[in-house]
Structure 1
Amino acid sequence: MSNKKFIYIIVEGDSDESYVYAIIDELMELNNIDIMVVRGDLFTQNCKIKNTIGNFVKTKILDIYNLEEEDISMIIQVTDIDGVYIEEDCILIDSEVERIEYNSQGIKVCDENKKAEIASRNKRKVSNLNPMINTKVMKIDYYLLYNSCNLEHLIFNEANLEADKKVDSIDKHILSKTRQELLDELEPFCLYEGEDIAEQYRNSWTTIKSERQCIPRATNLPLIIDLILSKT
Protein backbone atom coordinates (compact mmCIF):
# COMPACT_ATOMS: atom_id res chain seq x y z
CA MET A 1 0.00 0.00 0.00
CA SER A 2 1.28 3.46 -0.87
CA ASN A 3 1.53 6.31 1.70
CA LYS A 4 0.48 8.75 -1.01
CA LYS A 5 -3.00 9.51 -2.27
CA PHE A 6 -3.51 9.54 -6.02
CA ILE A 7 -5.98 11.14 -8.40
CA TYR A 8 -6.57 9.37 -11.71
CA ILE A 9 -8.17 11.02 -14.72
CA ILE A 10 -9.60 8.76 -17.43
CA VAL A 11 -9.96 10.22 -20.93
CA GLU A 12 -11.04 8.72 -24.24
CA GLY A 13 -8.27 9.74 -26.61
CA ASP A 14 -4.95 11.48 -27.16
CA SER A 15 -6.41 14.91 -27.92
CA ASP A 16 -8.39 14.80 -24.66
CA GLU A 17 -5.25 13.81 -22.79
CA SER A 18 -3.30 16.73 -24.26
CA TYR A 19 -5.95 19.29 -23.42
CA VAL A 20 -6.61 18.03 -19.90
CA TYR A 21 -2.88 17.93 -19.19
CA ALA A 22 -2.51 21.52 -20.42
CA ILE A 23 -5.18 22.88 -18.07
CA ILE A 24 -4.05 20.98 -14.95
CA ASP A 25 -0.29 20.84 -15.47
CA GLU A 26 0.44 23.17 -12.55
CA LEU A 27 -1.71 21.06 -10.26
CA MET A 28 0.02 17.88 -11.41
CA GLU A 29 3.29 19.22 -10.07
CA LEU A 30 1.76 19.60 -6.60
CA ASN A 31 -0.38 16.46 -6.50
CA ASN A 32 -0.10 12.80 -7.36
CA ILE A 33 -2.16 12.95 -10.55
CA ASP A 34 -2.02 10.67 -13.55
CA ILE A 35 -4.01 10.68 -16.80
CA MET A 36 -5.11 7.34 -18.26
CA VAL A 37 -6.18 7.06 -21.91
CA VAL A 38 -8.82 4.38 -22.47
CA ARG A 39 -8.72 4.78 -26.29
CA GLY A 40 -12.41 4.35 -26.85
CA ASP A 41 -15.80 5.08 -25.36
CA LEU A 42 -16.66 2.78 -22.48
CA PHE A 43 -20.17 4.25 -22.33
CA THR A 44 -21.25 2.90 -25.71
CA GLN A 45 -20.59 -0.69 -24.67
CA ASN A 46 -23.42 -3.08 -23.92
CA CYS A 47 -22.33 -3.78 -20.38
CA LYS A 48 -22.84 -3.20 -16.69
CA ILE A 49 -21.05 0.12 -16.83
CA LYS A 50 -20.09 0.41 -13.18
CA ASN A 51 -18.45 -3.02 -13.35
CA THR A 52 -16.71 -2.11 -16.61
CA ILE A 53 -15.21 1.07 -15.18
CA GLY A 54 -14.35 -0.71 -11.96
CA ASN A 55 -12.57 -3.42 -13.94
CA PHE A 56 -10.63 -0.76 -15.87
CA VAL A 57 -9.54 0.83 -12.60
CA LYS A 58 -8.52 -2.53 -11.16
CA THR A 59 -6.62 -3.88 -14.15
CA LYS A 60 -5.12 -0.67 -15.54
CA ILE A 61 -4.41 1.18 -12.30
CA LEU A 62 -4.53 -0.86 -9.10
CA ASP A 63 -2.88 -4.03 -10.42
CA ILE A 64 -0.29 -2.30 -12.58
CA TYR A 65 0.80 0.25 -9.97
CA ASN A 66 0.40 -2.06 -6.98
CA LEU A 67 -2.19 0.17 -5.33
CA GLU A 68 -5.18 -0.40 -3.09
CA GLU A 69 -8.52 1.37 -3.37
CA GLU A 70 -7.71 3.53 -0.36
CA ASP A 71 -4.59 4.82 -2.12
CA ILE A 72 -6.80 6.68 -4.61
CA SER A 73 -8.66 9.76 -3.40
CA MET A 74 -10.62 10.39 -6.59
CA ILE A 75 -11.26 9.25 -10.15
CA ILE A 76 -12.36 11.77 -12.76
CA GLN A 77 -13.56 10.52 -16.12
CA VAL A 78 -14.00 12.77 -19.18
CA THR A 79 -16.34 11.72 -21.97
CA ASP A 80 -17.86 13.10 -25.16
CA ILE A 81 -21.65 13.52 -25.09
CA ASP A 82 -21.97 12.80 -28.85
CA GLY A 83 -25.50 14.20 -28.93
CA VAL A 84 -26.94 11.17 -27.16
CA TYR A 85 -29.60 13.10 -25.23
CA ILE A 86 -31.40 14.42 -28.32
CA GLU A 87 -34.82 13.13 -29.32
CA GLU A 88 -34.83 10.40 -31.96
CA ASP A 89 -36.61 12.70 -34.42
CA CYS A 90 -33.46 14.87 -34.39
CA ILE A 91 -31.58 12.03 -36.08
CA LEU A 92 -32.15 12.93 -39.74
CA ILE A 93 -31.49 10.99 -42.92
CA ASP A 94 -29.44 12.76 -45.58
CA SER A 95 -28.25 10.70 -48.55
CA GLU A 96 -25.34 13.11 -49.07
CA VAL A 97 -23.86 12.23 -45.68
CA GLU A 98 -21.27 9.46 -45.90
CA ARG A 99 -22.05 7.89 -42.51
CA ILE A 100 -22.76 10.30 -39.65
CA GLU A 101 -22.54 14.04 -39.19
CA TYR A 102 -23.12 16.11 -36.05
CA ASN A 103 -24.48 19.66 -36.16
CA SER A 104 -26.24 22.04 -33.76
CA GLN A 105 -29.69 20.79 -34.83
CA GLY A 106 -28.94 17.10 -34.35
CA ILE A 107 -27.33 14.18 -36.14
CA LYS A 108 -27.44 13.42 -39.85
CA VAL A 109 -26.99 9.85 -41.06
CA CYS A 110 -26.83 8.22 -44.47
CA ASP A 111 -29.84 5.87 -44.27
CA GLU A 112 -32.48 4.20 -42.10
CA ASN A 113 -30.14 1.46 -40.93
CA LYS A 114 -27.63 4.01 -39.69
CA LYS A 115 -30.41 5.97 -37.97
CA ALA A 116 -31.50 2.84 -36.11
CA GLU A 117 -27.89 2.15 -35.16
CA ILE A 118 -27.32 5.65 -33.79
CA ALA A 119 -30.67 5.69 -31.96
CA SER A 120 -29.70 2.41 -30.30
CA ARG A 121 -26.23 3.75 -29.46
CA ASN A 122 -27.74 6.87 -27.91
CA LYS A 123 -30.09 4.89 -25.68
CA ARG A 124 -27.27 2.58 -24.63
CA LYS A 125 -24.90 5.43 -23.84
CA VAL A 126 -27.55 7.39 -21.91
CA SER A 127 -28.33 4.29 -19.84
CA ASN A 128 -24.62 4.05 -19.02
CA LEU A 129 -23.95 7.75 -18.40
CA ASN A 130 -26.84 8.50 -16.07
CA PRO A 131 -26.02 6.07 -13.25
CA MET A 132 -22.39 7.21 -13.24
CA ILE A 133 -23.19 10.88 -12.60
CA ASN A 134 -23.63 10.36 -8.87
CA THR A 135 -21.82 7.29 -7.65
CA LYS A 136 -18.55 5.80 -6.50
CA VAL A 137 -16.35 3.31 -8.32
CA MET A 138 -15.63 0.59 -5.82
CA LYS A 139 -15.09 2.77 -2.73
CA ILE A 140 -13.44 5.62 -4.63
CA ASP A 141 -15.00 9.05 -5.18
CA TYR A 142 -15.88 9.36 -8.87
CA TYR A 143 -16.87 12.33 -11.04
CA LEU A 144 -17.95 12.30 -14.67
CA LEU A 145 -17.10 15.35 -16.78
CA TYR A 146 -18.13 15.96 -20.38
CA ASN A 147 -17.58 17.83 -23.62
CA SER A 148 -20.45 18.36 -26.05
CA CYS A 149 -20.49 17.28 -28.71
CA ASN A 150 -16.78 16.62 -28.31
CA LEU A 151 -13.61 18.56 -27.52
CA GLU A 152 -13.13 19.73 -31.10
CA HIS A 153 -16.72 20.97 -31.20
CA LEU A 154 -15.97 23.15 -28.18
CA ILE A 155 -12.64 24.52 -29.32
CA PHE A 156 -13.04 24.83 -33.08
CA ASN A 157 -16.83 24.58 -33.52
CA GLU A 158 -16.04 21.48 -35.60
CA ALA A 159 -17.83 18.39 -34.35
CA ASN A 160 -16.83 16.22 -37.32
CA LEU A 161 -13.07 16.65 -37.46
CA GLU A 162 -11.31 13.64 -38.96
CA ALA A 163 -9.70 11.41 -36.35
CA ASP A 164 -6.23 11.77 -37.83
CA LYS A 165 -6.41 15.57 -37.52
CA LYS A 166 -7.66 15.81 -33.95
CA VAL A 167 -4.40 15.42 -32.05
CA ASP A 168 -2.38 17.72 -34.32
CA SER A 169 -5.07 20.42 -34.25
CA ILE A 170 -5.43 20.32 -30.46
CA ASP A 171 -1.66 20.22 -29.89
CA LYS A 172 -1.12 23.28 -32.09
CA HIS A 173 -3.95 25.08 -30.32
CA ILE A 174 -2.50 24.31 -26.88
CA LEU A 175 0.90 25.65 -27.89
CA SER A 176 -0.71 28.95 -28.91
CA LYS A 177 -2.43 29.49 -25.55
CA THR A 178 -1.55 29.95 -21.91
CA ARG A 179 -3.18 27.70 -19.32
CA GLN A 180 -5.51 30.52 -18.28
CA GLU A 181 -6.46 31.25 -21.88
CA LEU A 182 -7.42 27.61 -22.33
CA LEU A 183 -9.67 27.78 -19.28
CA ASP A 184 -11.13 31.12 -20.35
CA GLU A 185 -12.12 29.80 -23.77
CA LEU A 186 -14.24 27.10 -22.10
CA GLU A 187 -16.13 29.53 -19.88
CA PRO A 188 -18.83 30.52 -22.42
CA PHE A 189 -19.76 26.84 -22.76
CA CYS A 190 -20.22 26.19 -19.04
CA LEU A 191 -24.02 26.30 -19.12
CA TYR A 192 -24.59 25.95 -15.40
CA GLU A 193 -24.44 27.84 -12.13
CA GLY A 194 -24.17 26.91 -8.49
CA GLU A 195 -23.00 28.14 -5.12
CA ASP A 196 -20.46 25.35 -4.69
CA ILE A 197 -18.76 22.61 -6.66
CA ALA A 198 -21.40 20.01 -5.78
CA GLU A 199 -24.27 22.18 -7.02
CA GLN A 200 -22.38 23.20 -10.16
CA TYR A 201 -21.68 19.56 -10.94
CA ARG A 202 -25.32 18.54 -10.49
CA ASN A 203 -26.58 21.50 -12.52
CA SER A 204 -24.12 20.86 -15.33
CA TRP A 205 -25.66 17.44 -15.88
CA THR A 206 -29.23 18.69 -15.49
CA THR A 207 -28.51 21.23 -18.23
CA ILE A 208 -26.96 18.89 -20.78
CA LYS A 209 -29.63 16.22 -20.25
CA SER A 210 -32.35 18.79 -20.92
CA GLU A 211 -30.97 19.64 -24.39
CA ARG A 212 -33.31 17.33 -26.31
CA GLN A 213 -33.69 19.27 -29.58
CA CYS A 214 -30.12 20.37 -30.26
CA ILE A 215 -26.47 19.56 -29.68
CA PRO A 216 -25.00 22.52 -27.81
CA ARG A 217 -21.38 23.41 -27.40
CA ALA A 218 -21.21 22.72 -23.68
CA THR A 219 -18.82 21.39 -21.05
CA ASN A 220 -18.26 21.01 -17.35
CA LEU A 221 -14.55 20.29 -17.79
CA PRO A 222 -13.39 23.40 -15.86
CA LEU A 223 -14.83 21.78 -12.72
CA ILE A 224 -11.77 19.54 -12.82
CA ILE A 225 -9.73 22.29 -11.15
CA ASP A 226 -11.93 22.62 -8.05
CA LEU A 227 -12.42 18.86 -7.87
CA ILE A 228 -8.66 18.35 -7.68
CA LEU A 229 -8.21 21.18 -5.20
CA SER A 230 -10.93 19.68 -3.00
CA LYS A 231 -8.65 16.70 -2.42
CA THR A 232 -5.50 18.65 -1.61
Structure 2
Amino acid sequence: MSEKKVVAVIVEGSSDESAIGSILKEYFSSEEVQFAVVHGDITSDDNTTVDNVISKICILVDGIRKKYGYEWKHFTKIIHIADTDGAFTRGCVREGEAEVEDIQYYEEYMEAPNVDAAERRNEHKSTIMYKLYSTGKVHDIYYRFYYNSCNLEHVLYNQLKDFSDEEKMELSDDFADKYEGKVQDFIEFISGTDIAVPGTYKQTWKYIQKDKNSLQRHSNMHLIFG
Protein backbone atom coordinates (compact mmCIF):
# COMPACT_ATOMS: atom_id res chain seq x y z
CA MET A 1 0.00 0.00 0.00
CA SER A 2 1.40 3.41 -0.98
CA GLU A 3 1.98 5.95 1.78
CA LYS A 4 -0.47 8.79 2.16
CA LYS A 5 0.45 12.13 0.61
CA VAL A 6 -1.27 15.21 2.01
CA VAL A 7 -1.41 18.82 0.85
CA ALA A 8 -2.36 21.22 3.66
CA VAL A 9 -4.07 24.44 2.52
CA ILE A 10 -4.42 27.40 4.89
CA VAL A 11 -7.02 30.05 4.01
CA GLU A 12 -8.60 32.98 5.83
CA GLY A 13 -12.29 32.08 5.58
CA SER A 14 -14.82 29.42 4.68
CA SER A 15 -15.71 31.24 1.46
CA ASP A 16 -12.08 30.91 0.33
CA GLU A 17 -12.26 27.14 0.76
CA SER A 18 -15.62 27.05 -0.99
CA ALA A 19 -14.31 29.00 -4.00
CA ILE A 20 -11.10 27.08 -4.68
CA GLY A 21 -11.37 23.87 -2.66
CA SER A 22 -12.71 21.67 -5.43
CA ILE A 23 -10.21 23.13 -7.90
CA LEU A 24 -7.24 22.28 -5.69
CA LYS A 25 -8.60 18.83 -4.92
CA GLU A 26 -8.98 18.12 -8.63
CA TYR A 27 -5.50 19.42 -9.45
CA PHE A 28 -3.84 17.46 -6.62
CA SER A 29 -6.01 14.41 -7.29
CA SER A 30 -3.22 11.96 -6.43
CA GLU A 31 -2.93 13.50 -2.94
CA GLU A 32 -5.31 14.27 -0.13
CA VAL A 33 -6.07 18.00 0.15
CA GLN A 34 -7.14 19.23 3.58
CA PHE A 35 -7.99 22.80 4.57
CA ALA A 36 -7.26 24.76 7.72
CA VAL A 37 -9.59 27.77 7.89
CA VAL A 38 -8.25 30.55 10.10
CA HIS A 39 -11.60 32.40 10.34
CA GLY A 40 -9.69 35.66 10.30
CA ASP A 41 -6.37 37.09 9.21
CA ILE A 42 -3.39 35.60 11.02
CA THR A 43 -1.09 38.20 9.45
CA SER A 44 -2.87 41.20 10.96
CA ASP A 45 -3.70 39.62 14.32
CA ASP A 46 -2.09 41.73 17.05
CA ASN A 47 -1.16 38.50 18.85
CA THR A 48 0.89 37.34 15.86
CA THR A 49 4.55 38.30 15.86
CA VAL A 50 7.56 37.55 13.67
CA ASP A 51 8.76 35.23 16.44
CA ASN A 52 5.56 33.19 16.82
CA VAL A 53 3.93 33.18 13.38
CA ILE A 54 5.67 29.99 12.21
CA SER A 55 4.55 28.18 15.35
CA LYS A 56 1.00 29.36 14.61
CA ILE A 57 1.25 27.80 11.13
CA CYS A 58 2.49 24.59 12.74
CA ILE A 59 -0.52 24.56 15.07
CA LEU A 60 -2.91 24.92 12.12
CA VAL A 61 -1.31 22.02 10.25
CA ASP A 62 -1.15 19.97 13.43
CA GLY A 63 -4.91 20.46 13.73
CA ILE A 64 -5.32 18.79 10.34
CA ARG A 65 -2.90 16.03 11.36
CA LYS A 66 -4.82 15.23 14.52
CA LYS A 67 -8.28 15.51 12.94
CA TYR A 68 -7.54 13.03 10.16
CA GLY A 69 -5.00 10.82 11.92
CA TYR A 70 -2.04 11.73 9.71
CA GLU A 71 1.62 11.58 10.59
CA TRP A 72 3.88 14.56 9.90
CA LYS A 73 5.69 12.55 7.24
CA HIS A 74 2.45 12.34 5.20
CA PHE A 75 2.49 16.08 4.40
CA THR A 76 4.14 16.90 1.08
CA LYS A 77 3.48 20.65 1.08
CA ILE A 78 1.73 23.50 2.83
CA ILE A 79 -0.08 26.06 0.67
CA HIS A 80 -0.97 29.25 2.52
CA ILE A 81 -3.21 31.84 0.81
CA ALA A 82 -3.92 35.29 2.24
CA ASP A 83 -5.11 38.77 1.25
CA THR A 84 -2.65 41.65 1.01
CA ASP A 85 -5.26 44.24 2.10
CA GLY A 86 -3.02 47.03 0.82
CA ALA A 87 -0.56 46.33 3.62
CA PHE A 88 2.57 47.22 1.68
CA THR A 89 1.40 50.74 0.83
CA ARG A 90 2.56 53.70 2.85
CA GLY A 91 0.75 57.02 3.16
CA CYS A 92 -2.32 55.75 1.31
CA VAL A 93 -4.79 55.80 4.20
CA ARG A 94 -7.39 58.55 4.32
CA GLU A 95 -9.78 59.35 7.11
CA GLY A 96 -13.19 57.97 6.25
CA GLU A 97 -16.58 59.54 6.70
CA ALA A 98 -18.24 59.33 10.09
CA GLU A 99 -20.22 56.24 9.07
CA VAL A 100 -17.10 54.29 8.05
CA GLU A 101 -16.50 51.71 10.78
CA ASP A 102 -14.02 49.40 9.01
CA ILE A 103 -11.26 49.94 6.48
CA GLN A 104 -12.64 50.50 2.98
CA TYR A 105 -10.38 49.57 0.06
CA TYR A 106 -9.94 51.27 -3.29
CA GLU A 107 -7.26 50.67 -5.91
CA GLU A 108 -5.50 53.97 -5.17
CA TYR A 109 -6.14 54.42 -1.44
CA MET A 110 -8.01 53.12 1.58
CA GLU A 111 -10.31 54.84 4.05
CA ALA A 112 -10.27 54.14 7.76
CA PRO A 113 -11.91 55.57 10.88
CA ASN A 114 -8.45 55.86 12.44
CA VAL A 115 -5.62 56.62 10.01
CA ASP A 116 -2.80 55.99 12.49
CA ALA A 117 -4.24 52.64 13.54
CA ALA A 118 -4.60 51.56 9.90
CA GLU A 119 -1.01 52.55 9.14
CA ARG A 120 0.16 50.55 12.16
CA ARG A 121 -1.89 47.60 10.94
CA ASN A 122 -0.21 47.86 7.53
CA GLU A 123 3.26 47.96 9.07
CA HIS A 124 2.52 44.97 11.30
CA LYS A 125 0.82 42.91 8.60
CA SER A 126 3.50 43.57 5.97
CA THR A 127 6.23 42.51 8.40
CA ILE A 128 4.45 39.23 9.12
CA MET A 129 3.83 38.61 5.41
CA TYR A 130 7.51 39.22 4.69
CA LYS A 131 8.43 36.63 7.31
CA LEU A 132 6.06 34.06 5.82
CA TYR A 133 7.04 34.42 2.19
CA SER A 134 10.69 34.25 3.22
CA THR A 135 10.06 30.93 4.94
CA GLY A 136 10.66 27.89 2.76
CA LYS A 137 9.76 25.13 5.20
CA VAL A 138 7.50 24.70 8.22
CA HIS A 139 8.13 21.64 10.42
CA ASP A 140 10.48 20.50 7.63
CA ILE A 141 7.54 20.57 5.15
CA TYR A 142 7.70 22.54 1.89
CA TYR A 143 5.82 25.81 2.51
CA ARG A 144 4.71 28.52 0.10
CA PHE A 145 2.74 31.68 0.85
CA TYR A 146 0.51 33.05 -1.93
CA TYR A 147 -1.42 36.31 -2.06
CA ASN A 148 -4.58 37.84 -3.47
CA SER A 149 -4.59 41.62 -3.79
CA CYS A 150 -6.39 43.42 -2.46
CA ASN A 151 -8.38 40.33 -1.46
CA LEU A 152 -9.84 37.11 -2.85
CA GLU A 153 -13.07 38.75 -4.03
CA HIS A 154 -11.09 41.44 -5.85
CA VAL A 155 -9.04 38.81 -7.71
CA LEU A 156 -11.72 36.22 -8.46
CA TYR A 157 -14.73 38.46 -9.07
CA ASN A 158 -13.09 41.80 -9.93
CA GLN A 159 -15.12 43.52 -7.22
CA LEU A 160 -13.62 45.65 -4.49
CA LYS A 161 -16.24 46.24 -1.82
CA ASP A 162 -17.09 45.29 1.74
CA PHE A 163 -18.99 42.03 1.24
CA SER A 164 -20.96 40.40 4.02
CA ASP A 165 -20.12 36.79 4.92
CA GLU A 166 -23.33 35.69 3.24
CA GLU A 167 -22.44 37.53 0.03
CA LYS A 168 -18.95 36.01 0.06
CA MET A 169 -20.37 32.50 0.36
CA GLU A 170 -22.86 33.09 -2.45
CA LEU A 171 -20.13 34.40 -4.74
CA SER A 172 -17.76 31.57 -3.86
CA ASP A 173 -20.41 28.90 -4.43
CA ASP A 174 -21.19 30.37 -7.86
CA PHE A 175 -17.48 30.51 -8.68
CA ALA A 176 -16.96 26.89 -7.62
CA ASP A 177 -19.91 25.81 -9.78
CA LYS A 178 -18.46 27.69 -12.76
CA TYR A 179 -15.14 25.84 -12.57
CA GLU A 180 -16.34 22.45 -11.34
CA GLY A 181 -14.46 19.83 -13.35
CA LYS A 182 -12.68 22.58 -15.30
CA VAL A 183 -9.39 23.02 -13.46
CA GLN A 184 -7.54 23.94 -16.66
CA ASP A 185 -10.01 26.75 -17.29
CA PHE A 186 -9.34 28.07 -13.79
CA ILE A 187 -5.58 27.89 -14.33
CA GLU A 188 -5.98 29.91 -17.52
CA PHE A 189 -8.11 32.45 -15.64
CA ILE A 190 -5.75 32.88 -12.68
CA SER A 191 -2.76 33.00 -15.05
CA GLY A 192 -4.25 35.81 -17.16
CA THR A 193 -2.16 38.93 -17.66
CA ASP A 194 -4.83 41.06 -15.95
CA ILE A 195 -4.31 39.12 -12.69
CA ALA A 196 -1.12 37.07 -12.54
CA VAL A 197 2.12 38.77 -11.54
CA PRO A 198 4.87 37.47 -13.84
CA GLY A 199 8.18 36.10 -12.63
CA THR A 200 9.45 33.74 -10.00
CA TYR A 201 7.93 33.33 -6.55
CA LYS A 202 10.46 35.81 -5.13
CA GLN A 203 9.87 38.28 -7.97
CA THR A 204 6.09 38.25 -7.46
CA TRP A 205 6.62 39.17 -3.82
CA LYS A 206 8.99 41.99 -4.70
CA TYR A 207 6.36 43.34 -7.10
CA ILE A 208 3.49 43.35 -4.63
CA GLN A 209 5.52 45.38 -2.13
CA LYS A 210 6.02 48.29 -4.53
CA ASP A 211 3.92 51.46 -4.73
CA LYS A 212 0.17 50.73 -4.59
CA ASN A 213 0.37 47.22 -6.02
CA SER A 214 -0.93 45.62 -2.83
CA LEU A 215 -4.19 47.55 -3.28
CA GLN A 216 -4.60 46.66 -6.93
CA ARG A 217 -5.82 43.48 -8.58
CA HIS A 218 -2.92 41.03 -8.54
CA SER A 219 -2.23 37.46 -7.48
CA ASN A 220 0.56 34.91 -7.59
CA MET A 221 -1.76 31.93 -7.02
CA HIS A 222 -0.99 30.76 -10.56
CA LEU A 223 2.37 29.58 -9.20
CA ILE A 224 0.53 26.90 -7.23
CA PHE A 225 -0.08 25.16 -10.55
CA GLY A 226 3.41 25.57 -11.98
TM-score range, shorter chain: 0.7 to 0.9
Question: Does the 8 Å contact 1:174/1:182 carry over to 2?
Answer: no
Which of 89, 95, 98 aligns to 2:97? It is 95
> 2:108 aligned with 1:105, yes or no?
yes
Q: Which runs of structure 1 show a deviation greater than 6 angstroms over 4 or more consecutive aligned residues?
A: none
More helix by share: 1
Aligned to 2:131: 131
Query: TM-score scaled to structure 2, two decimals?
Result: 0.85
Once the two structures are TM-superposed, the CA of residue 213 in structure 1 deviates from its matched residue by 6.9
- Judge conservation of contact 1:54–1:138 (CA < 8 Å) in 2: yes
Contact 2:25-2:32 at 8 Å conserved across structures: no
Distance 1:156 1:65, change over 3 A: closer
Q: Does 1:190 align with 2:193?
A: no
1:214 shift after superposition: 6.3
Aligned to 2:70: 67
Q: How does 1:119-158 map to 2 (within 5 A)?
A: 119-135=119-135, 136-158=137-159
Q: For 1:214 and 1:126, how far apart are their aligned partners in 2?
A: 10
Kindly indicate whether residue 32 of structure 2 is the aligned counterpart of residue 43 of structure 1.
no
Amino acid at match of 1:16: D
In the alignment, structure 1 segments of 5+ residues that lack a partner are 194-199, 227-232
Q: What are the ranges of 5 or more consecutive residues in structure 2 without an aligned counterpart?
A: none
> How far apart, CA to CA, are the structure 1 residues paired with 2:29 and 2:197?
30
The offset of 1:129, in angstroms, is 0.9
1:180 correspondence with 2:184: yes
Identity among equivalent pairs (%):
27
> For 1:38 and 1:94, how far apart are their aligned partners in 2?
28
Report Cα offsets for 1:168-197 as digits up to 9, x if no partner: 01211332344333333322211222xxxx
Distance in 1 of aligned mates of 2:111 and 2:138: 35
CA RMSD of aligned residues (A): 2.0
- The Cα of 1:216 is off from its aligned counterpart by 1.2
CA distance in 2, matches of 1:69, 1:192: 33
- Alignment TM-score, normalising by the size of structure 1: 0.83
Are the counterparts in 2 of residues 92 and 115 from structure 1 also a CA contact under 8 Å?
A: yes
